[in-house]
Structure 1
Amino acid sequence: MTSSEITAFRPRSVLVATDATYRKMADTRDSIALLEDTEAMIVPFSEEPQANEARVLAVRELLRRDGKLASGVLLIKNPYDADGYELAEHAVETFASEKYHHLANVARILGATEVQFVEAKIERAESNTQGGVKVKLPIGGGDASAGRDVSKKLEQRLAGQMTFPGAESAPEVAAAYVEKHNLGNDHQLIALVEMRSGLNQINRYKMTLSGTREAEANLKSALRIAAAGTGEVAKIGANFARTTGAINSVEITTEITF
């Protein structure tokens, strides 16, 4: 791997371990595989890395530059930002909210006059409702409480109405925006751009988007750290695994007027 490739490398998730924990892992045979994982990466806070040295140092410098380097944090790659990482405990609502706002921007570029949030559904095992957001939660007080916390945070970020003065649709600009933010695999967004192109353009569209599709692989890699770790590493990942591991999907319904 060239130096430029190393600099550009971004793991799907990163756990910043204390130096003491990292040294202990480096001396434990069962933990070596964790240190060698390049997708779910364990980075020592300041200790010299014992595996994937160049990549680990590059990622640590990136986190330091962005103010995200702190002992004991689990971070997940933001699928919509080439260099961005988010704290694991806020990742689901952060990524879903960002997807919603990217949708609103695409609609704006396509000439929308109004983007109205309708509802968000966090699908789990058992149906429940909290604060207007329909949620499915598993049986069990701890998991149910955690799920309600996620739904409440998500509702606070998404609820509302956006209005614009309206403009001519710019589908080429919208398509470029979609690609720039890694949304090219969302068929509904692509369809929306197409329906605002050419003749007989759509003037009202109610759509339901997955708020977690682009982040699924990154979330799973963080869960791998949580499941495989012991001691401090296991403690760091426990809360994230409890809340995120049981979430099947986040769906956001929005109504757009052009």
Structure 2
Amino acid sequence: MSSDAHLIRPRSILVADDDLYLRIAHDSDDVRLLADSDAMIVPYSVEPALNARAIESVRTLLQDSGQLAPKSLLIKNPYQAESYESADEAIGTFSITKYHAFANVARVLGATEVRFLEAKVELENSSLQAKIAAMLPAGGGDVEAAREVTKKLEDRLSAHLTFDGGAPDPAAADDLLKRSHLAHDPQLRALVNMRTGGNLLTRYDFTLSGTRESTSNLTSALQIANAGPVKALEIGAKFSMMAKAIRNIEIKTEITF
């Protein structure tokens, strides 16, 4: 087993160019940022001042995945082990990853169809459910954030998945939930239960929360983006605006068994 196997990966990472990292390391007010192993600042190539073992492990992981680039703000994907996403794409990508994990669970439970019906974005400072088709072009910053995320969701989600069907396999569904870190999702647990035993569920109209599991990771990345020396360079500015504007993403689906 690798010596890195027991290291807890940070929820968020900033790959700092060497100049920025050294400036932070030599600033008496900012050096504390380098001690955070959850919202981790990783130097691009210089020796780390703190968290050396964890940083070297993260740097190797990012280099192997082609993500070791200066000024990159990355967020851990809550549904995939050892996987990070660019902060600017993370909110939408996490929702899509969860949707596909959910569809895969439905597949082993005997689904014949999974249909994506609609994506809605709930804004932090409004009760508006921002459906893109109904938005006016001259919306505010929050509306623009909702517009961009929802457009990406609608472009990337598979609208209609079809399967051969078959007998439900609850054990396989449980295994998929564990591997996707969704074993404690109450909606997905209920789906497995209703496809177990007799009088099985044959159709399910399902609204999936695309942000529930990612909230703490997004908050960690906001902590980095809003840190003084990082914010001054506007690293993660677009992500910060989106994360503050968007409260939740709902993905409406229909499953037929």
**Is 1:59–2:58 an aligned residue pair?**
yes
Partner in structure 1 of residue 195 of structure 2: 196
In the other structure, the counterpart of 1:89 is: 88
Q: 1:37 to 1:233 in 2, by over 3 A?
A: farther
1:233 Cα shift?
Answer: 6.3
The answer (yes or no) to whether the contact 2:18–2:44 under 8 Å persists in 1 is: yes
Q: What CA deviation, in whole Å up to 9, does each residue of 1:85-131 have, x standing for no partner? A: 00000001100001011111000000000001111111103424313
Deviation at 1:159, TM superposition (A): 5.0
* SS in structure 2 of the partner of residue 225 of structure 1: helix
Residue in 2 that maps onto 1:161 = 160
Match of 2:185 in 1: 186
Aligned residues: 251
Corresponding residue for 1:207? 206
Residue 169 of structure 1 aligns with an amino acid whose one-letter code is P
Counterpart residue number, 1:222 = 221
Contact 1:226 1:237 in 2 (8 A): yes
Aligned to 1:114: 113
Maintained 8 Å contact 2:145/2:246: no
1:39 and 2:38 correspond: yes
Which structure 2 segments of 5+ residues have no match?
none
Contact kept? 1:6, 1:54, Cα under 8 Å:
no
CA distance in 2, matches of 1:234, 1:109: 47
Secondary structure in 1 matching 2:164: coil
1:23 aligns with 2:22: yes
Residue 198 of structure 1: SS of its match in structure 2?
coil
Moved more, 207-216 or 17-26: 207-216
CA gap 1:228/1:107 in 2 versus in 1, 3 angstroms: same
SS in 2 for 1:47: coil
Report the equivalent of 2:3. 4
Root mean square deviation, CA, Å: 1.9
- Structure 1: distance between partners of 2:133 and 2:146: 12
Please report how far the alpha carbon of residue 82 of structure 1 lies from its aligned counterpart in structure 2 after TM superposition. Answer: 1.0
Could you tell me whether the CA contact under 8 Å between 2:225 and 2:231 is conserved in 1? no
* TM-score calculated relative to the size of structure 1: 0.92
Contact 1:169 1:196 (C-alpha < 8 Å) held by counterparts: yes
1:16 and 1:73 in contact (8 A); partners too: yes
Q: Identify the residue that residue 104 of structure 1 maps to in structure 2.
A: 103
Corresponding residue for residue 254 of structure 1: 253
Matched letter for residue 39 of structure 2: A
Q: Is the 8 A contact 1:131 1:152 kept in 2?
A: no
Amino acid aligned to 1:4: S
Paired residue for 1:131, among 126, 133, 143?
133
| 8 A contact 1:21–1:232 mirrored in 2 | no
Secondary structure at the counterpart of residue 226 of structure 2: helix
Name the aligned partner's letter for residue 142 of structure 2: D
Closer, same or farther in 2 for the Cα pair 1:159/1:176, shift >3 Å?
A: closer
Aligned partner of 2:154: which letter? E
- Write the distance in 1 (CA, Å) between the matches of 2:59 and 2:139: 38
- Deviation digits for residues 172-207 of structure 1 (CA, Å, limit 9, x no counterpart): 110111011100121010110111011111000111
Structure 2: how far apart are the matches of 1:161 and 1:86? 25
Supply the AA of the counterpart residue of 1:46: S
| Aligned amino acid, residue 216 of structure 2 | A
SS of residue paired to 1:30: coil
Aligned counterparts of 2:172 and 2:232: Cα–Cα separation in 1: 44
- Aligned sequence identity (%): 50
Q: Aligned with 2:121: secondary structure?
A: strand
C-alpha distance 231-212 of structure 1, shift in aligned 2 (>3 A)? closer
TM-score by length of 2: 0.92
CA distance in 1, matches of 2:54, 2:67: 17
Say whether the 8 Å CA contact 1:110–1:168 is kept in structure 2. yes
